[in-house]
Every structure is written in structure tokens, then in C-alpha cells.
Amino acid sequence: MATVAVPQLSGYHRPAVLDWIMTVDHKRLGILYLYFTLFFFAVGGILALLVRTQLAVADNSFVGNDAYNQIFTMHASAMLFLFIIPVWAGFGNYLVPLQIGAADMAFPRINALSFWMLPPAGILMFAGFIVDGGAADGGWTAYSPLAQQTGVGMDMWIIAVIVLGMSSTIGAANFLVTMFRMRAPGMTMFRMPIFCWTMLVTALLQLLATPVLAAALVMLFIDRNYGGQFFDPNGGGNVVLWQNVFWFYSHPAVYIMILPGMGIVSEILPVFSRKPLFGYKAFVFATIGIGGLGFSVWAHHMFTTGSVLLPFFGFMTFMIGVPTGVKIFNWLGTLWGGSISFPTPMLFAIGFVSMFLIGGINGTYSAAVPVDFALHDTYFVVAHIHYVLFGGSVFAVFGGLYYWFPKIWGRQLNERLGKLHFVLMFVGFNVAFFPMHMLGLDGMPRRIAVYADSAGWEALNMLSTGGAFLIAVSMIPFLIAVVMAFMRPKDQPDDPWEANTLEWATTSPPPDYNFDSLPPVRSERPLFDARHGDEAH
Amino acid sequence: MAAHGTAERQGMTNSMLGFILFLASEVMFFGGLFAAYFIARADAPAWPPPLTPEQIAEGVHLELEVLLPAISTGILVLSSVTMQYAVWQIQKGNQGGMLWGLFISLALGIVFLAAQLYDYTQLHFRADDTIYGTTFYTLTGFHGAHVAGGALFIAVVTVRALGGQFTAENHEAVEASSMYWHFVDVVWIALFTVLYIIK
């Protein structure tokens, strides 16, 4: 082809580092997102280990109260704002253009801008540890008046989160335009891969909810620095106002954090069950339903404030369990009667389904207002959030990494190490977080640094700490597998898994321009159609 | 090779769709600020809220003059009309008409900003004088910043128009800047209504 000759005309080759810094290629930006977010997963994980070490025994003085407050605040902030939310942008960046058969995102340079807003924000947020008064310590929820009383690290946190929000807002607009307008011929909306659909709904939530968080943070900043009275009852303000605006973003944000994970699982399960996804359209409408209902349940975080309409928000919270339940049946129906194999990505996907189910059930349980009054701000809630965000999202992240590793890096991760990773992480996860249910029912409040010996919480806390360290240990086989993979040549074929979607129709890794040619798209499984030809119809 | 999916579809361009989505996020940002204002106002025992004796001794009083902002409102609405005139002119290929529309809109926008700054100097309360002052300066301040951004946008478009970059077929930036301008206009009308008119 004539195009092959073009690079040879140029005598100048940029150094590889500059190539990465100046890239506008969606695949390279996707990889940068993955490196960045996995780095902060490690940072947030280390902070979690500090939290668990402090809580391992009663009356512990491993870290002081002030340091503890900073550590759990920054653990949550790193995991939510610097890991889970942007890691989906990483997968989305790499995969969405490939899955819809496009050459790149709609706005490649805005895409680069979205990524490059992250490192300064991450640095700013963590620079709080070196300023007077320390890092933000009001919890990731930054409730007033607590968030009014802390040091300058809180202001740095506010600015960092606003910048991260801008990044995800413009990124969301980019994803939406890409999926609405850049699809290959034949790729109708209802033939888009499920992962794209979940990214689409996620992008809509980000576009519409994140600016509200920006407004809330701006108000908090004005209150802290310019004498504003938004959240100060002395001047006619209202502390519950913060909770309302904050959760108006942060509840949809939990769907921002889980929907793409559901998408990844819905890509993996059909491939290793050798069946199409059971109920494709039902899954799409369930995703849209979760997105829509997601805007009407924020006040279930505020039942005990006494200033929200309990029956409405309780009912809506039960309602959102319905589309979520639909998805569980989608996944079970996909497995049902399938010719199932269990490579590592499949293990993580099944781990997701089972753990997310527990997280969904204990979430619906707390949707009942009287139950919530008893459980509010106890470790039961901590158990719930980790069953959906770790048992859900993090399992999906690793499932996705094992599944797309051959496509992204052209090499396969070692299967034995992968299975060891899964088993250690699955056991460690349940040992770490299941006891928190019991601790919560026993009345242990969240966010306390020290508990008395007489409370009787030590044994379960020690167990939980052991589980947390087991999760940390599970990363060792993963890292060995990654190093081993990078020591091998790129030997992966286009489609090592016999998968369904278009990203497997090009080389591994794909060329800069993605596709030499595309197979015809006549269903949501164009590669299956291409492999089996007319016999399938 | 034709199957790359990069060819743009019929109808709206990618940039225009992206811009409309950006505007949607802006609407939600102001939505958040407005929601805070409504919640604060609904919760207040009286509006404007009562002042402390110290504040009264300092000469604070929570009142707004309507006349100047009413004139400003008229100016901003007029500038929206002239901005739309610029779009209609370039749609017909009339570069001169578009330039006049852009110039007048830009000038009216600057007059609006100047009037708002002058109005700030005439007020007898500050941002830290009760939730009334906080919401007033936050809402009008963020709106003013958006007017300034919009004026900058129109200025860039005007410079490009002077360079003859726009034609009847190709004038997306003009349309985008006009949409942005209408957006800040509509936000102002809402602000003027709730801050100045509804007692």
C-alpha cells in the first residue's frame, strides 16, 4: 500500500517519551489512563493497608487520629476519583473506537486534554500531605461543617476534584459524540457492543451530574475562603444543602463507577460461554433504566437527616434494584447451557457477578428506611460499598485487563499466575469485607481510628485486616505475570479468544489507524458472523 | 478502506454536537447553583434574611435596585438579537452584515459587564453578609464570568471574520458562539427574575 512509504519520507524521529507525551492516539491515551489509574490503585491500596493496620487491634496507636482521618479520606479519594472513574475512561478510550469500527475518538486533542488534566490534579490532591495541616481529612464526602474546619489541604482537594470533574465532563462529551457519529457502516445503535452501551450511559451521567459536583465544590470553596454562608446556619445557610448537592452527583457517580464494569463482564461472559449475551436489548434498557433512576435516589444517603421525603427515596431505591436484577438474569441466562471454559478473565467475570450480587442485596437491604436508620454510618455501609466497588468494579477491571491484555500489548498473561491471583484476591476480598457486615450490625461506626477493647470488635477486625493483606499479596502473581509477559515477544494473533466484537478484527496490538478493513456488521457479533459465515444464519 | 467509519454523517457536525453537549453540562452547573439558591431561600425564615445588630451598625442592608439591572437585561437581550442577526447574515453569505452583528453584540456584551461591575460598587452588602449576599455574588459572579467568556469567544470569532474565514457554507464558529451567547442570555433572564423581581 502507498501509505506504508509515507513515514520513510520523514527523516526525523521523535524520542519515544515525547511520542507518548504528545500523542493524540486513543489507544496510547487509553494505555496512559490505565498506567495512571493503576498507579493510584496501588497508592490507595497502601493507604487502605494503613487503615486496616490501625484497626487491627483495639486501642491501637499505630497512626494518630489526625493522620488516620487524612489516610481514610485520601484512600477513598484516590480509589474513587483517581482510580475507578478514570480507569473506565482508560478502557473506554482504548476500546470504544475499536469496538465501533472507528479510526479514533471524535476529538483526539480534547481526548489528550482530558488525560493530561489528571496528573496535575492527582499531584495537587496528594501534595496535601506535605502542607501545614496535612491532606484533606473530612472524608471523601467532605460534609460541612467538618469540611470547613480543616487545613489548606482541603482547598487543594477541592481544586483537584474540580479539575478531575472537568476532565471527566469533556471526556464524556467526547465519548458521546464518538458513539453517536463515528460508528462503522452497519453498526447501528442496537448492534453496538454492550461495553459501548455502558460507556454511553456512563458518559451521559458524567456529563449531567459532574457539573453539579463542580457547583457544590465551588460553594464549599467560597464558604471556606471568601466568607460564604452556603453551609453555615449562622448566616442563613444549611448544612444539609451540601449533602443534597453532593449526593446529586455522587449517587449517579456510583453508577459511573459500576456500569462500565458491567459492560466488561457482559463482553467476557458470552465469549467464554460460547453464546450470545442473553437478552441484549433487555440489558441495554436496564442500563438506561439504571442511568435514569440514578438521578432520583440520591437522598437515600440522607435518610437520617430528617429533611428528605423518606417514602419516595426509599421506594426509588428499591426500584433501581429491578434493572440491576435484570442484569443478573442476563448474565445467568448467558451462562445457562453454555459451553463454559474458565480462563482467568472468565473467573474474574464470575467473581464480579457473585460478589456484586451480594453488594446489590445488602444495598437493597439498607434501602428500607427503618433498617437504614439502624445501619447508617456503621461498618455495614462500608461492607456494602466495598462489595459493589471492589467485588464489582475492581474484579471487572482485572477481568478486563486479563481479557484485553493480548489485544493491547500483544502478549498473553500467564494463566497459572492469573488463576492464583484470582483465588488469592477472591478469598482475601471476602475475608476482608464480609466481617464488616457483622461489625456494622454490632454497631461499629465507620471512620473511627480507635475502638475500646471492651467493644468486642477486635477478632473480626483482625480477620478483616488479614484479608486486606491477602489482597495485597494477590497482586504479586499479577505483577510477576505482567513482567513475564513483557519479557516475551508480541506473539498474539488477532483474535486469541475467538471473541465477538470488532476490536478482535485487527492485529494485536492494532496499527495506528486501527483497521485495514472491517468485516461486514450484521449483528452485535460481527466476528462470530465472519468466522461462521452463512451457517450461523 | 472506505469502511473506516471516519466519514462524518449527514446533518449536524461532530463539533456542533460536542458543543451542544458542553452546553448541557453548563446548564447542569448553573442548575446546581440555582438549586442551592432555591433551597436556601425556601429554608429562610424571611427573605432577605434578618441581619445581626453588628451588620446593621456597619450599614449593611440587603436591597437591590432594579432600574440599572433592568436596563442591562434589555442590553443583553438586544445583543442576543444582534448575534442571531450575524448568524442569519452569514447564512446568506453576507460577510459585512455578519461583521456588524458581531461588533454590536461584542460592544453590548462589554457594556453589560461594565454595568454589572458598576452595580456591584453600589450595593450595601458583601458576599459574607448572610446567605443572601453569598448566593447573590456567586450566581451573578459566575454568570458574569460566563458573559466575559462569551465576549472573548465573540472577539475570537470577530477576528476570524475580519480575516474572511466564514462563508455561507462554513460558519460553525459563528453559530456556536451565538448559541453560547443565547445561553448566557437565558441564564441572566432567569437570574434577573429570581434575584430582582420575585420578592
Q: Mutation test of the interface with chain A: which of B9, B17, B25, B183, choosing the one with the most A Cβ atoms within 10 A?
A: B25
pLDDT in tens, A54-93: 999 999 999 999 999 999 999 999 999 999 999 999 999 9
- Per-window interface: A 218-237 vs B, CB < 8 A: 218-219, 222-223, 226-230, 235-237
pLDDT in tens, A358-413: 999 999 988 999 999 999 999 999 999 999 999 999 999 999 999 999 999 999 99
Q: What whole-number distance in Å separates Cα of residue B187 and Cα of residue A454? A: 58
Q: What whole-number distance in Å separates Cα of residue A344 and Cα of residue A414? A: 9
- Radius of gyration for chain A, computed over Cα atoms and rounded to the nearest angstrom: 23
Residue contact B31–A212, C-beta within 8 A: yes
The closest CB to that of B40, out of A208, A212, A241, belongs to A241
Cα of A512 to nearest chain B Cα, Å: 13
**% pLDDT > 90, chain A:** 89
Q: Is A211 helix (H, G, I), strand (E, B) or coil?
A: helix
Q: pLDDT tier at A2 (50, 70, 90 boundaries)?
A: very low
pLDDT recorded at residue A236: 86
All residues of chain A having their beta carbon less than 8 Å from the beta carbon of residue B5 are 100-103, 182-185, 187, 518
pLDDT > 90? residue A313: yes
All residues of chain B having their beta carbon less than 8 Å from the beta carbon of residue A100 are 5
pLDDT recorded at residue A534: 60
pLDDT in tens, A485-510: 999 999 999 999 999 999 999 999 99
Hey, what's the torsion of the CAs at A47, A48, A53, A55, to 10 degrees?
120
Grid coordinates in use for A72? Answer: 481514610
pLDDT recorded at residue B5: 43
CB atoms within 10 A of CB B56: 11
pLDDT recorded at residue A223: 94
Grid coordinates in use for A372? Answer: 437504614
The tens-digit pLDDT sequence of chain B (199 residues) is 334 444 445 678 999 999 999 999 999 999 999 999 999 898 888 888 888 888 889 888 888 889 999 999 999 999 999 999 999 999 999 999 999 999 999 999 999 999 999 999 999 999 888 999 999 999 999 999 999 999 999 999 999 999 999 999 999 999 999 999 999 999 999 999 999 998 7
All residues of chain B having their beta carbon less than 8 Å from the beta carbon of residue A101 are 3-5
pLDDT recorded at residue B121: 93
pLDDT > 80? residue A1: no
Cα of A276 to nearest chain B Cα, Å: 25
For A519, which residue in chain B has the nearest alpha carbon? Answer: B3
The closest CB to that of A106, out of B14, B36, B40, belongs to B14
Residue contact A185–B5, C-beta within 8 A: yes
All residues of chain B having their beta carbon less than 8 Å from the beta carbon of residue A513 are 4
Residue contact B131–A236, C-beta within 8 A: yes
Which residues does residue A445 pair with via DSSP β-bridges, in sequence order? A378
Cα of B141 to nearest chain A Cα, Å: 12
Could you tell me which residues come within 8 angstroms of residue A280 by beta carbon, excluding any fewer than 6 positions away? Answer: A190, A194, A524
The closest CB to that of B134, out of A101, A209, A228, belongs to A228
Q: What's the whole-number mean pLDDT along residues A221-232?
A: 92
Half-sphere exposure of residue A206: CA atoms within 13 angstroms, side-chain side: 31
- Going from the C-alpha of A79 to that of each of A167, A236, A246, A358, A401, the distances in angstroms are 16, 35, 18, 21, 17
For A243, which residue in chain B has the nearest alpha carbon? Answer: B36
Tell me the DSSP string of B145-193: HHHHHHHHHHHHHHHHHHTT---SS--HHHHHHHHHHHHHHHHHHHHHI
In chain A, the domains with their CATH numbers are: 23-536 (1.20.210.10)
Interface of B with A (CB under 8 A): 1, 3-6, 8-9, 14-15, 17-18, 21-22, 24-26, 28-33, 35-36, 39-40, 43-44, 49, 126-135, 138, 142
pLDDT recorded at residue B50: 87
Q: What whole-number distance in Å separates Cα of residue A153 and Cα of residue A158? A: 9
pLDDT in tens, A135-171: 999 999 999 888 988 889 999 999 999 999 999 999 9
Residue contact A228–B4, C-beta within 8 A: no
- Topology of domain B18-197, per CATH? Four Helix Bundle (Hemerythrin (Met), subunit A) (1.20.120)
For B35, which residue in chain A has the nearest alpha carbon? Answer: A245
Tell me the DSSP string of B104-141: HHHHHHHHHHHHHHHHHHT-S--TTSHHHHHHHHHHHH
Confirm or reject contact between A113 and chain B (CB < 8 A).
Answer: no
Axis crossing angle, helix A194-225 with helix A152-181, rounded to the nearest 10: 150
pLDDT recorded at residue B3: 41
**% pLDDT > 70, chain A:** 97
- Going from the C-alpha of A147 to that of each of A78, A151, A379, B134, the distances in angstroms are 18, 9, 22, 18
CB atoms within 10 A of CB A168: 27
Among A460, A467, A468, A466, CA closest to A444: A460
pLDDT in tens, A245-293: 999 999 999 999 999 999 999 999 999 999 999 999 999 999 999 999 9
pLDDT recorded at residue B43: 85
All residues of chain A having their beta carbon less than 8 Å from the beta carbon of residue B1 are 516-517
Residue contact B25–A236, C-beta within 8 A: no
pLDDT > 60? residue A226: yes
Q: What whole-number distance in Å separates Cα of residue B192 and Cα of residue B195? A: 5
pLDDT recorded at residue B6: 44
- Per-window interface: A 470-529 vs B, CB < 8 A: 513-518
pLDDT recorded at residue A78: 97
Residue contact A228–B127, C-beta within 8 A: yes
Could you tell me which residues come within 8 angstroms of residue A230 by beta carbon, excluding any fewer than 6 positions away? Answer: A219, A220, A222, A223, A237, A238, A241, A242, B36, B40, B131, B134, B135, B138
All residues of chain B having their beta carbon less than 8 Å from the beta carbon of residue A181 are 8-9, 14, 17
Q: pLDDT tier at A234 (50, 70, 90 boundaries)?
A: confident
Average pLDDT, chain A: 93
Cα of B117 to nearest chain A Cα, Å: 18
pLDDT recorded at residue A237: 87
All residues of chain B having their beta carbon less than 8 Å from the beta carbon of residue A213 are 32
